[in-house]
Structure 1
Amino acid sequence: MTSTDPARSRSRRKQDALNHLAHDEDAWVATASPSGEACLVPLSFIWDRGTLLMATRRTNPTAVNLSLRASAVVALGHTRDVVHIEGTAELVEGSDLAKEAADRFAAKLGWDPRGRKPWVYISFTPVVVKAWREANEQPGRLLMREGQWLDGP
């Protein structure tokens, strides 16, 4: 894909974004402390019924930040195929997560944080989704607003 290729339609970008969500295993997760200190970490995830499900130690800055301010930004793909997601996050104890979701997490990623203290799940719900490849895709990059997928080309 080059900057001279035509921009993808919104429906194509949405399909490509959903493909990343379904098949990628790792994402960059950005949070901030109450004082504004940024934290950017890679976390493995699964796309589970409209949310990204991740896990980390409760004592890691990401979990600490999310326990105080439940917003984060998640990025998938590489610099020439970005899916940029803003949303809200909730920390979920392994014993509180639906067994089916925890089983899907373990099956896809090959490890199971249930029963590992102090691990917690992060349930991340997208509110805004943007996707672009090159500068010609900057206009129209918005795919989701207020948690609703946008329609149209």
Structure 2
Amino acid sequence: MTEHQPARAPEQRKQDMLDRLEQDIDAWVATASPDGLPCLVPLSFVWDRGALLMATRRGNPTAVNVTPSGPARVSLGHTRDVVLVDGTAQVVEGVDLPTGSADAFTAKLGWDPRARSSWVYLRVTPDTVRAWREVNELAGRQLMRDGEWLV
């Protein structure tokens, strides 16, 4: 029999989620083509100015699917500790990204997409954020709705 941890208070759940956004490096990113073909890829990210900042090649389906902007779903964690972010992804050219954001990306992830003309940044601004560990946290899993924190 599996013992489950007690459900976290909403404030603790939000803090745990923010800690993951600051500390985690990789996430799963889902987009869809105009005809509905799903695309799911792992991308490294940095939490920057209230959004997830990632980079990918300009011609990759993930960037093409959201050009110039479109919906994306980002998942962090494993099945027993999930953070699920639904938001709007925007393609940002390296020259258009604030220097502080690009520098934060480079500092955390150890490489600089600005030096590669075939790469673009993706900035995913959350509309909805949910976080849960076990069934006992399903009822309170929504932490953000319509871009506004509920906690």
Query: What TM-score comes out, normalization by structure 1 length?
Result: 0.94
Moved runs in structure 1, 4+ residues, more than 3 A? none
Q: Secondary structure at the match of 2:140?
A: coil
| Number of aligned residues | 150
Give the conservation status (yes or no) of the 8 Å contact 2:94–2:113: yes
Amino acid at match of 2:76: L
1:86 corresponding residue in structure 2:
86
1:143 corresponding residue in structure 2:
143
Q: Distance in 2 between matches of 1:77 and 1:97?
A: 27
Amino acid at match of 2:30: A
Q: Secondary structure at the match of 1:70?
A: strand
Q: Secondary structure at the match of 2:113?
A: coil
1:129 corresponding residue in structure 2:
129
Question: Once structures 1 and 2 are overlaid, which stretch shifts more, 68-77 or 56-65?
Answer: 68-77
TM-superposed deviation, 1:21: 0.3
TM-superposed deviation, 1:3: 5.5
1:114 corresponding residue in structure 2:
114
TM-superposed deviation, 1:100: 1.1
Amino acid at match of 2:86: E
Q: Distance in 2 between matches of 1:13 and 1:118?
A: 38
Q: Judging changes above 3 Å, is the alpha-carbon distance between structure 1 residues 83 and 3 closer, same or farther for their aligned structure 2 residues?
A: farther
Q: Distance in 1 between matches of 2:148 and 2:69?
A: 22
Give the conservation status (yes or no) of the 8 Å contact 2:69–2:90: no
TM-superposed deviation, 1:69: 5.6
Say yes or no: does 1:67 pair with 2:67: yes
TM-superposed deviation, 1:5: 2.6
Q: Distance in 1 between matches of 2:69 and 2:38?
A: 12
Q: Distance in 1 between matches of 2:67 and 2:3?
A: 40
Q: Distance in 2 between matches of 1:114 and 1:122?
A: 13
Note the residue ranges of structure 1 that are not aligned, 5 or more in a row: none
Identity over aligned residues, as a percent?
63
Question: Once structures 1 and 2 are overlaid, which stretch shifts more, 5-14 or 51-60?
Answer: 5-14
TM-superposed deviation, 1:136: 1.1
Q: Judging changes above 3 Å, is the alpha-carbon distance between structure 1 residues 98 and 41 closer, same or farther for their aligned structure 2 residues?
A: same
Q: Distance in 2 between matches of 1:115 and 1:19?
A: 29
2:41 corresponding residue in structure 1:
41
Give the conservation status (yes or no) of the 8 Å contact 1:34–1:68: no
